[in-house]
């Protein structure tokens, strides 16, 4: 979806989150033959479209709120990356979803327009813990601003790291947690990904790829310069494995200017260098969500591409199997890789409508 430079960008971990809102049916109380009960107030649909900076974690952070009816459940999306803000693509990818949910896009600390506001000055605060707390503070803001008891949390790839932290720490803020391309332990996932890509290269008799991969050896790598060698090979084989129709990648006009795109790319570069580190020893390399514990007080839904070479489904499934929650479901999406397909988005929306929306409609 964005132009990726070889050395600083990882395969973008997106997420597709889903969202927007529909009007509630009008209810009229029955009248008796002698007296009429007082009529219930009619809630008319109230479309919401807000774009603003909100003070979160002592800095201004960019959010958008869009939906057909303010009365609908609210979904907060946690984008991938790190630094790969979802805002530019959301209108196209989730067109029409506003009928049932109110969609909140958030440019995280170090990403998109939030990065454009702060620049690299926030690097000392760019940690998983601080950004998960940002998400919690934003959820608190949204419940007050939109007059909700709780909201729904949807994450993708990198965002799934923040999402698990948030769902574990503050279940009182969320009706449910949905994840696309759930990450668990970066070292394990890199090792499994490398082994799978090398296996595919050998099966294809791809000697240039085999030579390149064996030259850098398996992870952990000691230099970010080795990453593009693996990433380029992985990207090529990921493209061969994906058969599901792709999701829309159309950029909204307000994000399409050269200046906006330059800012977006700078944020991706900034976050990649910070979180992975030039020596591949950054804060993301030591992430292990299992250390947080696996007991959750809210429903958990995980969607995983069957052909995902970045977040191998076997590892996500093992983590899912260890989870205890009031309700949990794991969906393996055929023909889908790391980035969401149109098929996967349809599945996520269906779960949101059928299973999550009934929990989140507030009366």
Neighbour tally for 200: CB within 10 Å? 19
Q: Distance of alpha carbon 87 from its chain centroid, rounded?
A: 11
Residue 38 contacts residue 27 (beta carbons within 8 Å): no
pLDDT for residue 19: 30
β-bridge partners, 151 = 174
CA distances to 44, 111, 123, 351 from 267, in Å: 40, 5, 11, 32
**What does the alpha-carbon distance between residue 280 and residue 359 come to, in Å, rounded to a whole number?**
42
**What does the alpha-carbon distance between residue 143 and residue 145 come to, in Å, rounded to a whole number?**
6
Q: Distance of alpha carbon 275 from its chain centroid, rounded?
A: 17
**What does the alpha-carbon distance between residue 162 and residue 212 come to, in Å, rounded to a whole number?**
33
How does pLDDT run across 94-105, given as a tens digit for each residue? 988 999 999 999
Q: Is the peptide bond before 104 cis (omega within 30 degrees of 0)?
A: no
pLDDT for residue 43: 64
Token duo for residue 110: 């170090």
pLDDT for residue 23: 31
Domains along the sequence of the chain with CATH: 48-188+242-360 (3.40.50.1820)
Q: Which residues of the chain have pLDDT under 50?
A: 1-41
Residue 105, helix vs strand vs coil = strand
pLDDT for residue 279: 61
């Amino acid at each position: 979806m964005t132009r990726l430079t070889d050395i600083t960008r990882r395969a973008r971990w997106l997420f597709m989150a889903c969202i927007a809102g529909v009007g509630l049916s009008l209810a009229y109380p029955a009248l008796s033959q002698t007296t009429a009960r007082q009529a219930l107030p009619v809630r008319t649909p109230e479309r919401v479209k807000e774009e603003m900076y909100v003070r979160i974690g002592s800095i201004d952070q960019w959010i958008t709120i869009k939906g057909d009816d303010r009365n609908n459940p609210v979904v907060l999306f946690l984008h991938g990356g790190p630094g790969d803000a979802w805002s530019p693509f959301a209108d196209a990818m989730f067109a029409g979803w506003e009928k049932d949910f109110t969609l909140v896009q958030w440019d995280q600390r170090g990403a998109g327009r939030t990065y454009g506001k702060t620049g690299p000055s926030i690097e000392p605060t760019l940690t998983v813990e601080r950004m998960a707390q940002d998400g919690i503070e934003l959820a608190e803001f949204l419940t007050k601003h939109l007059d909700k008891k709780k909201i729904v949390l949807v994450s993708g790839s990198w965002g799934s790291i923040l999402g698990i932290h948030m769902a574990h720490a503050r279940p009182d803020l969320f009706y449910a947690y949905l994840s696309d391309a759930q990450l668990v332990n970066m070292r394990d996932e890199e090792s499994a990904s490398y082994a799978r890509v090398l296996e595919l290269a050998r099966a294809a008799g791809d000697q240039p790829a085999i030579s390149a991969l064996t030259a850098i050896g398996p992870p952990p790598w000691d230099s970010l310069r080795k990453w593009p060698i693996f990433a380029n090979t992985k990207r090529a084989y990921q493209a061969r494995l994906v058969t599901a129709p792709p999701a829309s990648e159309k950029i909204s006009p307000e994000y399409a200017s050269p200046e906006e795109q330059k800012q977006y790319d700078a944020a991706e570069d900034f976050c990649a260098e910070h979180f992975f580190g030039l020596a591949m020893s950054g804060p993301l390399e030591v992430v292990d969500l299992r250390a947080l514990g696996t007991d959750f007080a809210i429903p958990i839904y995980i969607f995983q591409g069957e052909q995902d070479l970045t977040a191998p489904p076997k590892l996500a499934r093992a983590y899912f199997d260890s989870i205890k929650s009031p309700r949990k479901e794991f969906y393996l999406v055929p023909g889908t890789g790391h980035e969401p397909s149109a098929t996967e988005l349809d599945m996520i929306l269906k779960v949101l409508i059928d299973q999550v929306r009934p929990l989140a409609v507030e009366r």
